[in-house]
Amino acid sequence: MLKQFSKYLQRQGKSSRTISAYCRVMTLYFKWCEETFGEPPAQIYRANVLEYISYMRNLKNYSHKTINHHLSSLRCYCDWLIETGQQTEAAVLPSDFMKVQTQYASPCTVTKKDVEAFRQRILESGSKRDYAIVTLCAYTGIRRDECVNLKLSQVDLTSKEIRVTGKGDKQRLVYLNDKTVHALREYLKERQSASPFLFISRQSEKLTPSRINQIFNRYSDTITPHKLRHFFCSHALESGYSIHEVANQAGHSNVQTTLIYANPTAQAMKEKANKL
């Protein structure tokens, strides 16, 4: 069932990361059903959803944000069942979702000094490919999946721009700074492959998202591709980009997502609290 559900999510334009998260939630739900009722039901029943919400709140002590994540997955799974004729009624209602106070502090937790030290460690390792990947992520804010799916035909180093295909197959033009252009040019000098994809490995014509994670983990215990995306958004605003410019470059469908990066970091707010 989950394989068919995954294919449905792919048709919906969901990223591989989102698909993996949704399937993981559904696996947990089915496990709960099996432990509670003896076997997982073929449909998503309203009564079961309400019991599961109570279980998450009172026994697992999940945060409201985590509960909402589970409910989003259940609702999407239910939508698939209805679309394929396996179910007729919605089992997750809008009123089921928990109210969550909008985060105020910027999610950025790494400084430019941290990022530059990270880049330097990779530069000194001798891997021009890894150095190009990290530099691209840090100074364009592209997602991990967008990075591995980037093709040579989408890169124009003369014009200093790349065409990125993001969520929902939406394309956007992302501009490159000089350090990113230099890093990519140095990598391309030694790249030898007929693969249409920009970043390759010895084993395949395309890197996988998990391989990107391994690269980051090799050089840092704290910096991840997603944290570099946070860094780009925060650093771009500090450098004079407008909210709409950052939203466009990062591929945010809603500027409200971008606005949060204009707020001080959690550390800055703690420092202010100590001055009271």
Helices (H), ranges, the chain? 2-11, 16-37, 46-54, 64-83, 112-125, 128-140, 144-148, 178-190, 209-219, 225-238, 243-250, 255-259, 266-274
Specify the pLDDT at position 204: 85
Task: List the beta bridge partners of residue 151.
Answer: 197
Task: List the beta bridge partners of residue 175.
Answer: 161
Spatial separation of the C-alpha atoms in residues 131 and 225, rounded to whole Å = 13
Q: CB neighbours (10 Å) of residue 29?
A: 20
143 is annotated as an active-site residue: yes
| Residue-range domain boundaries for the chain | 2-96, 112-269
129 is annotated as an active-site residue: no
| Per-residue CA distances from 129 to 7, 126, 165, 188 (Å) | 32, 9, 21, 8
Set 14, 143, 230, 235: catalytic member: 143
- Amino acid residing at 96: D
Specify the pLDDT at position 147: 96
The second-level CATH assignment, the architecture, of 112-269 is Orthogonal Bundle (1.10)
Spatial separation of the C-alpha atoms in residues 81 and 53, rounded to whole Å = 20
Specify the pLDDT at position 214: 95
Contacts of 41 (CB under 8 A, 6+ apart): 33, 48
Set 229, 230, 235, 241: catalytic member: 229
- Amino acid residing at 245: E
Specify the pLDDT at position 158: 97
Spatial separation of the C-alpha atoms in residues 171 and 51, rounded to whole Å = 41
Residue 153 in tokens:
């035909």
211 is annotated as an active-site residue: no
**Per-10-residue mean pLDDT for the chain, 276 residues long?**
91 86 96 93 94 96 94 96 94 92 82 96 97 98 95 97 90 97 97 94 88 94 95 95 96 91 86 88
Set 46, 64, 167, 182: catalytic member: 167
Set 22, 77, 219, 261: catalytic member: 261
The CATH code that applies to domain 2-96 is 1.10.150.130
3-state secondary structure of 231: helix
Specify the pLDDT at position 223: 96
233 contacts 247 by C-beta, under 8 angstroms: no
CA-closest candidate to residue 123, choices 134, 138, 112: 134
187 is annotated as an active-site residue: no
